[in-house]
Amino acid sequence: MRRFIATICLVFLYSTVTFASGFSIYEASVRANAMLGAFSAYARHVSTIYYNPAGLAGLDGIRISGGATIIAPRTSFRNLSALAPLGQKTNLKKQNFWVPNAYASYQINANLTAGVGVYSPFGLGTEWPSDWVGRGASIKADIKTLFVTPAVGYKLPDWGIGTIKIGAGLRMAVFGKVKLKRAVQSFTPEGTFTLNGDLDKTAFGFNAGILYQPIKDVTLGFTYRSKVKTKYSGDAEFVNLPVGFPNTAKGSAEITLPSSYVVALNVKPIKGLTTELDYVWWGWSSYDKLAINFDQTIPALGGNKIVNERNYKDSWQLRFGAEYSELGIKGLTIRGGIAYDKNPIRDRYVDPTLPDADRWLFSGGLSYNLTDYLAVDVAYIFIRTKQREVTNTTAGGIDGVYNTYANLPSFGLTMKL
């Protein structure tokens, strides 16, 4: 048992994360993945610590689940700027990212269950060829986060209006890395700027949720996750920029990870079938700019900071998932999902660090109980974004057409002791 957790911790240390609306990652559990995250009123799996902590209430015994999602995004860019031939195509470098997750819960009494979750709710990873047309906008961008959330769920006394569960958790960003690299084309010959930052100190937020089951087979859920202000500090390097820049400097960046809420409806229309529809809202408007502050005045910047306007707007996702367990094969449950995800970036501010667009998501997956105590979970998500043409981009962008798709297989185990 101990060994299993130790291995997971290692995976966490090496994990890189990427890719979702904005740079949120909703793939926090293999079972939830199979239903495309329509999970905030599901409440029968320990990963509810992320999706709705109220769901902890009533989870009996000791529950443990762990898994990983592989995110394999593929993006192409076709140039519409005046810097290169029209339509010239560049592909994002192929990268696959591991996004791990682990949860455990323990029932304290019939109404109260406590648990802890480790997951990676935000991140992105994009890398373009160092000589590509948009190198002045981005060559490499990498943001990784790791959150730990201790949480409790409590089932309220029966007042005769149905079952009400509440829950809350502390969201602690315990690990984070930011790496940004881009060409500096203000001068000829051009140079490069790199920032390698680590999360300064643990950043805090919270989540809270409620589940209301007015009648058997119908559950309403609501989850709120607060924003988390994270700060990253590290070394900035200026290469081949002999005039107007130091060789190195200390740099730091603050990124406010946005708040979100979920309204969920879970219905079990017939025996063995669970369906759920979740509306997820994201407060991305808190991400209005990315500012990098330096420890010294940099003549070429005319000051001590670089500011990239982001001006994200709030966005939403609609997630539908279904699960069916009466297939006639004992221990087998199948799942599927479909979702639409509205991106938060205005056309002018789309840049190659995160070539986001509205997207459709499709998923399928299953769980199989190997024993009464152990189940394997697998899921597969396919994401296709709408083709996105951006023109009149602001400084730090590049005019062109982005196309993105991604495959996200995931595997995990769930134990009930």
Residues that bind other proteins (CB under 8 A): 76, 78, 80-83, 86-87, 136, 185-190, 240-244, 270, 272-273, 299-300, 322, 324, 326-328, 334, 336, 338, 360, 362, 364, 382, 384, 387, 391-399, 401, 403, 405
Instruction: List all residues 6 or more positions away from 51 whose beta carbon is below 8 Å from its beta carbon.
Output: 28, 29, 32, 37, 39, 40, 42, 223, 262
Work out how close the CB of 27 gets to other proteins at its nearest, in angstroms, rounded to a whole number.
17
CB atoms within 10 A of CB 329: 11
Q: Report the C-alpha gap between 180 and 228 in whole angstroms.
A: 21
CB of 279 to other proteins, least distance (A): 21
- Closer by beta carbon to other proteins, 129 or else 299: 299
Q: In Å, how far from its chain's centre is CA 205?
A: 16
Q: Which is nearer to other proteins, 170 or 334 (CB)?
A: 334
Q: Which positions ≥6 away from 91 have C-beta within 8 Å?
A: 74, 75, 76, 77
Nearer to other proteins, 229 or 386 (CB): 386
In angstroms, what is the minimal distance from the CB of 35 to other proteins? 12
Which of 322, 378 has the CB closer to other proteins?
A: 322
Closer residue to other proteins in complex, CB, 270/417: 270
Tell me the two tokens of residue 269. Answer: 């229309």
What is the number of alpha carbons within 13 Å of residue 219 lying toward its C-beta? 26
The reply to whether omega before 189 is within 30° of 0 (cis) is yes
Distance, CA of 400 to CA of 339 (rounded, Å): 26
- Return d(Cα 129, Cα 85) in angstroms, integer: 17
Q: Which is nearer to other proteins, 7 or 185 (CB)?
A: 185
- The distance of closest approach from Cβ of residue 186 to other proteins in the complex, given in angstroms and rounded to an integer, is 5
How far apart are CB 87 and other proteins at their closest, in Å? 5
By beta-carbon proximity to other proteins, the closer residue of 227 and 346 is 346
Please say which residue, 200 or 309, places its beta carbon nearer to other proteins: 309
How many angstroms separate the CA atoms of 143 and 70, rounded?
16
From the CB of 363, what's the least distance to other proteins, in Å?
Answer: 9
Nearest distance, CB of residue 92 and other proteins, angstroms: 14
CB of 118 to other proteins, least distance (A): 31
How far is residue 384 from each of residues 88, 197, 317, 359, measured CA to CA in Å? 22, 31, 14, 6
Collapsing DSSP to helix, strand or coil, 244 comes out as: coil
The residue among 29 and 333 lying less far from other proteins, judged by its C-beta, is 333
Which element (helix H / strand E) includes 164?
A: strand 163-184
User: CA-CA distance, 14 to 80, in Å (whole number)?
Assistant: 37
Which of these, 371, 372, 381, lies nearest to 411 by C-alpha position?
381
Give the shortest CB-3-to-other proteins separation in angstroms: 38
